[in-house]
Chain A
Amino acid sequence: MGKDRKKEKIMFWVFMAPALIAFLMVQVVPFFLGLYYSFTNWTASAQSSIDIVGLKNYIDAFKDTTFLYSTIITTIYTLLNIVLVNIIAFSLAMLVTSNIKGKNIYRAGFFLPNVIGGIILGYIWQFVFNSFVPKVGLALGIAWFDKNMILANANTALIALVIVSTWQYAGYIMMIYVAALQNVPRDLIEAAQIDGATPWQRFRAITVPMLMPAFTVTLFLTLVNSFKQYDVNASLTGPGPSIFFMGKAINGTELLAQNIANTSLVLRNTALAQAKAIIFFVVLVIFSLIQVYLTKKREVEL
């Protein structure tokens, strides 16, 4: 028996080994290394020694106007995205669960942008905003579109980012709503119908409360994915047109993930980038905990 036990234990580690080793190598060690490096003077250039500098990077991060600006626009971008993606996705879900013809084709069509990589999407939409939109504006006689390049202005470029992420993400969130809508019990709706509830009343009093668990998921996903946006940001706008913020010229459409990346890739200050990344992580966790708390509270038990 004792021998079996021991063999069992060895087999446990044998089966764990491939995944565990990769996991330790790629996530655990770098995570703790990263924590350590955020307190040092590590740079992306060759250096003779890496020394501990205490909280300097964190203080620098809080003083860094580009980081503050990125946090602000990322928050705005995330909020706009949450609202727009979910409204569109929900409407699409209602549409493709209604009794129209060709539902499956619609579903696949709306979902398609989601399987295309963000980098490629960004280039496609660069063309849309730079060539297609001005031409359409001209054809419709809207002079504004012809005179203003959407991507050349920090504010409109941010809106452009929201449009592209909505286009990319709505079909995916739609399918989560579709799954949830199909789970709303038919007899509940029929009972309400017999009681004389109007379609709007049925929607407000049955469908929406029954969908609260789905809202928890969709809001969480849009929140986290918007906050971490990098690919579309990098290829559609890049750092963007420069603007004045708190008396300094800075990049107008640099979302947080890009700000972190460029702090190391462009400015070569990897330790500062690392400190920013850890702040980013903490902020993201706080935001998502608040969101999950708020939506969970509204879920109903059946």
Chain B
Amino acid sequence: MLATVIQQLLNAAQLGAVYALIALGYTMVYGTIRLINFAHGDIFMLGGFVGFLLVTMIPGLPVVVMIPSAMLLTAFVGVLIERIAYRKLRNAQRMSLVITALGVGIFLENLVRLLVGPQARQIPAQLPNKALKFANGVVITEDKILIIAISLLLMVVLWLFVNKTLIGTAMRAVADNKDAVQLMGVNLNLVISTTFAVGSALAAAGGIFFGQAYSIDPYMGIDLGWKAFIAAVIGGIGSIEGAVLGSFLLAGVEVLTVAYLSSNLKNGIAFGLLIILLLIRPNGIMGRAELKKV
């Protein structure tokens, strides 16, 4: 009995880790420029495909080289998209940015479909994946542990980056008051580009892990992107700790609903619980209630 609970919690942890890697990008971009980047789920997908292409085109590429390279390339694409599609609309009404982001997302999905093909692919096993069996029947594969560990590591690195470095501080400042920051002589464009770069890199890592543990296809970013967005909001959009918390919470609710309630009603129950959560804490778990001046 306990074994199953532990098993399901581990399942939830892995799913939560993947959600978190995507949600962090959402929350960072939202924090700085108040944009819900609906193309972010597709950046996640793109990262997975970049990793896949690197592995298939350069046989023998060691995983320690492939992952950072894919992250770098995807970060570059993220910055490019910001430069071309979002920068001009930075001061426009929010909804235009949202629609533009949606358009960019659809474009990426179909671009990958046409260039690589619509089939689902799996990134060939790069991480060790022997199944470890524990005494009480709990089974977990090594790659699952690695994914959870690496994801948590990346989150810690991100936290340090945002809270302990100069540019991280600049990012937090921009999230607080974009205009004042410019008056202080900070290069706003640089800060925002960095935000996109870091967010995209994280999403790419998520995509690669996902592609190894599961599979990648051009449309996988849609569902996961929305889930991650929901997780980020539940946690309190704009808060990094919140994004992580929200992701693990969402994954936990989903997995436990399937395990102990009903798999048919997973979406219904999971979202029902989340709505109740939002009613109790209308600004998300870690969100700060914004004071509005009249």
Bind each other: no
A residues lining the B interface (CB < 8 Å):
none
